[in-house]
Structure 1
Amino acid sequence: MVSSEMINNSYYVGFEGEPQLIFMYENLNVRYELQLWNGYFETLLDCLIEQANDRSGILHEYCAYEGWYEESPWEIKNIKQAIQLFKSFDPNKLTEEDGVKASKNIKSILPTLTSDIITFLEQANDIGNKVFIVYE
């Protein structure tokens, strides 16, 4: 039974009513959530597809439109792999093609968003918790 919630919704404020993605884990009756506007997350994944050599895990689910799109909540099976994927993001390598997909406002958010996702995943992983993605 969850008795309290720790929610970071700073990446969803202003996008209420738009598709939302939530990273979530529970520990000691507390639910931790990182709520994102889906547009930020999909733009980040589009950029990672261009930069990453490995398209397994979260990138595979995104490309196949499976995972959290089909089953919500969806468990991130390999949290360490997800952490490494997000750590591989290099905002300095964003190309002009990425710019067509993402406005300057969105691209300016991606480094901080990526850092917050990594921190969230590392905190859950360090205490041995499962992390889920909820798509609404």
Structure 2
Amino acid sequence: MKATVINDSYYVGFEGEPELVFMYENITERLELRVWNGYFETLLNFMIEQQVPIQNGILHEYYIHEGWYEESPWEIKNIKEAIQLFRSFDVIRLTEDGIKASENIVSMLPALTSDIITFLEQANDSGDRVFIIYD
């Protein structure tokens, strides 16, 4: 029986609200990073504002409202591309209006982004497939 390792620090306090789960599993365990959808959508919206290319992958699926919204679990086909996407986020480039509108959320985004990158790198390094589960 596989052990399940859950990081839900970005969902605690938002129980009952929409959540997004990054998940991968290997031979011995299932790893999950649970995120309140409000944090994740705000992060992706800021990336779009920063004119990060929307050609394909996670940002494209979010922009056209498909991917994990329609098909859960949804596989991240190119993990390296997803890592680069999250590395491209720069909290310093946020507009003052954007920060004011989402002040409580913005303070969480650097840590969230770092944890997503670490999660994806671990999965990629171990050769595991990563899925996004939307609930």
Which bracket does the TM-score occupy, shorter chain normalised?
over 0.9
Indicate the SS of the match to 1:9.
Answer: strand
Contact 2:22 2:32 in 1 (8 A): yes
User: In structure 2, the residue corresponding to 1:16 is in which secondary structure?
Assistant: coil
Write out the 4+ residue segments of structure 1 that deviate beyond 4 Å after TM superposition: none
**How many residues align structurally?**
134
- Closer, same or farther: CA 74–101 of 1 in aligned 2, 3 Å: farther
TM-score by length of 2: 0.95
Amino acid at match of 1:32: L
Question: Contact 1:23/1:133 (CA < 8 Å) preserved in 2?
Answer: yes
Where in structure 2 are the equivalents of 1:17-56 lying within 5 Å? 17-55=16-54, 56=56
Q: Any idea what SS the aligned residue of 1:75 has?
A: strand
CA RMSD of the aligned region, Å?
Answer: 1.1
Q: 1:13 to 1:66 in 2, by over 3 A?
A: same
Answer yes or no: is 1:64 the counterpart of 2:101.
no
Q: Letter of the 1:70 partner, please give it.
A: E
State percent identity of aligned pairs.
Answer: 66
Checking the alignment, whether the CA contact within 8 Å between 1:3 and 1:30 is kept in structure 2 is yes
Task: State the distance in 2 between where 1:115 and 1:53 align.
Answer: 17
**Is the alpha carbon distance of 1:13 and 1:95 closer, same or farther for their aligned partners in structure 2, counting shifts above 3 Å?**
same
- Per the normalisation by structure 1, the TM-score is 0.94
Q: Label 1:101 to 1:72 Cα distance change in 2 as closer, same or farther (>3 A).
A: farther
Matches within 5 A, 1:40-119: 40-55=39-54, 56-99=56-99, 101-102=101-102, 104-119=103-118
